[in-house]
Chain A
Amino acid sequence: MSAFSFARLMALLRKESIQILRDSMTLRIIILVPIIQLFLFGYAINADPKHLPAGLLSIEDSKYTRTIAAALNASGYYNLRVLRSEAEAEAGLARGELTFVIQMPPDFDRAVDRGESPGVLVDADATDPAAIGNAVAALAQVVADLNRDLPPIRRLQPQTPPFQFVVHARYNPEQLTVLNVVPGLICIVLMFSTLFVTTMAITKERERGTMENLLAMPVRPIEVMIAKIAPYVVIGYIQVILILVTASIVFGLPIRGSIPLLLAALGVFIACNLALGVTFSTVSANQMQAIQLAQFTLMPSFLLSGFMFPFRGMPLWAQWFGNVFPTTHAMRIVRGMLLKGAGWSEIAADVWPMALFAVVVIAFATLLYRETLD
């Protein structure tokens, strides 16, 4: 037997090609998924988020405030709306509905005219330092814009700007990226470990031939589904605790919110991933296909959830799409609870979409689970 035979190689290549072409499901995934992803992420991802929601707190009607507001909107980075109270501002920041709150001091116009260079307080949600970086940088141009509007006598003094923005980086005063990345990583790591274990749930029964016996026995689909998911919820919790302890010891991550509430919310997140994994496992012929389907959800969870790129930077349709994925909500909950000390009222809006996702997906899997071999 020769060390290498071209004919034998050709025989093997031919066999492999036939097998690949015959697996139409895999072939479709291989061809469609990259194209979909390219379009999806190409249009969705934007590392320079604009039109960030900002609130304006001003107790008086002021000429210069209107100019500043117009300039902020014109910069493209701010989407200003007028707030009525400080409480509204605080709640908006805590829920993540507002990224900035701009507070005009009293007697602003007069102070500017007198050349006192008053300070304008900008409260910025610094949980994601990258998301606010460019918007904060754009503030300088706003100051210059107002300078243009001033009476000529004031303009002649370039040493003293007409007013100053005082930026207050909230929740993450040192603007440490690690405080943003680690809570996100908690969700990503958890998603990986829980989604993939259940992709084999049903396919394993099918591949090993035990499915036929299971079907012949008096078990109902919903019983099978719950039994496939429940043990991994326990494993998921062990992982959560390990990750949280490591994150707080090694990365100095604060846990400002209630731990039981955090665990409860993460329980819903774990259930979502397990349910999704079981569903992929139910519709797939083998574990390989289930894993390929799971991978299709990994990329959006990475790229559209606000983990790698600012969520606000995405066009609205991409934000809608991103909101379908449990990871997006879990990420907000974990960041909010760890960094902002968010409580139930702040996270409720992110808990129910996850719960809904889990219920819909489990219902879907139960419907697709065939009780016969047809």
Chain B
Amino acid sequence: MTAPAIAVRGLRKSFGGLKVVEGLDLTVAEGEICGFLGANGSGKTTTIRMLCGLLKPDGGEGHCLGCDIIAEPHAIRRQVGYMTQRFSLYEDLTVFENLDFVARVYEMPNRRAAVKAILERMELSNRRDQLAGQLSGGWKQRLALAACVLHQPKLLLLDEPTAGVDAKARREFWDLIHDMAVDGLTTLVSTHYMDEAERCKRIVYLARGRIVVQGGAAAVVANAGLAAFEGVGDDVDRVAVALRHTPGVEAAAVFGRALRVASLDREALRRAIGTRGGGLVWEEVEPRLDDVFIHMLTVQEKGG
């Protein structure tokens, strides 16, 4: 087994007294696609920024691609592709000019060929001379991804790369990430989308700057020990309101004509459905990843 791409222990960071990351241990194996999940403000962006040297950790230690994260941030930057949450390429440069700039900054020897190859791979060739600012959201993300893989990094750090992008563009974006994983690229990607989390080999769930749970999607669901029921009927909205405030129900969410409820306590959930779930046709279903995360968010809010 080769050394992990990321291996950090006890990472800490606070901003003006607010502890954003508190003792985070994270290991990501080479070639792995690791999904980084958690509520807003749970420390995902801060962790990613510390890993690529944009923020100096208050404490902790570890290695990223074999380089010490405290002592060698410059060495790490050369080998990492970092895609920011907000589009951060130059909107007043064209697609080609942006990529050419990146290639020059990284002093790539075969610059022209590399830019041409990435334009083709990302299907950006037709938009080569378009100003980056005029691209739609999906194409901007694609350009940003092209820019951060151009210098052939060994590790990709993607911070909510698909926020605000339509479903098709998201799927294509993930196809690209999987293609690159085949070539041995390690990826740490933060997201709020459950379908994206399910496409990761491993997911890491963050809450209050700490890892709460990690593992494969199926294992995370199984280990949560959650029970879920689905009721179908016309009156789902009213029943949802009633159930949400019933003891034993941790989450109740409406999907069209269906209402999903979940809880750790299967019997309590059954009782709740029995008393307040009238009018719907109920059956027990397999819990899904989003049930698990909603559950964890609820636990967190209650101060667990």
Contacts and interface: CB of A to CB of B under 8 A. Distances in A.
Interface in A324-344: none
B56 to A, nearest CB: 6
Interface stretch (A13-21, A204-212, A287-295): A204-212
Contacts of A210: 88-90
Contacts, number: 50
Contacts of B87: 209
Interface centre among B54, B78, B89 (most CB of A within 10 A): B54
Interface in A168-217: 208-217
Contacts of A214: 88
A212 B159 CA distance: 12
A316 to B, nearest CB: 45
B92 to A, nearest CB: 9
Given A216-B52, A372-B54, A209 B88 contact: yes
B106 to A, nearest CB: 6
A212 B78 contact: no
Grouping DSSP codes into helix (H, G, I), strand (E, B) and loop, the B interface class, with mixed when no group exceeds half, is: loop
Given A209-B87, A210-B90, A213-B89, A218 B55 contact: no
Given A216-B52, A218-B78, A372-B55, A209 B86 contact: yes
B88 A372 contact: no
Interface in A203-236: 208-219
Contacts of B90: 208, 210
Grouping DSSP codes into helix (H, G, I), strand (E, B) and loop, the A interface class, with mixed when no group exceeds half, is: loop
Contacts of A61: none
A373 interface: yes
A214 B106 CA distance: 12
A218 B106 contact: yes
Interface residues of A, number: 16
Given A213-B84, A217-B102, A218-B77, A208 B52 contact: no
B82 interface: yes
B74 interface: yes
Kindly list the 7 A-B residue pairs having the minimum CB-CB distance in the complex, ordered from nearest: A213-B88, A216-B82, A209-B86, A212-B84, A209-B88, A210-B88, A217-B105
Given A217-B102, A372-B55, A374-B55, 11 more contacts: A209-B84, A210-B88, A210-B89, A212-B86, A217-B77, A217-B106, A218-B77, A218-B106, A372-B53, A372-B73, A374-B56
20 contacts: A208-B88, A208-B91, A209-B84, A209-B86, A210-B88, A210-B89, A211-B88, A212-B54, A213-B84, A213-B88, A213-B89, A215-B54, A216-B52, A216-B53, A216-B84, A217-B77, A217-B102, A218-B105, A373-B54, A374-B56
Interface of B: 49, 52-56, 73-74, 77-78, 80, 82, 84, 86-91, 102, 105-106, 147
Interface of A: 208-219, 371-374
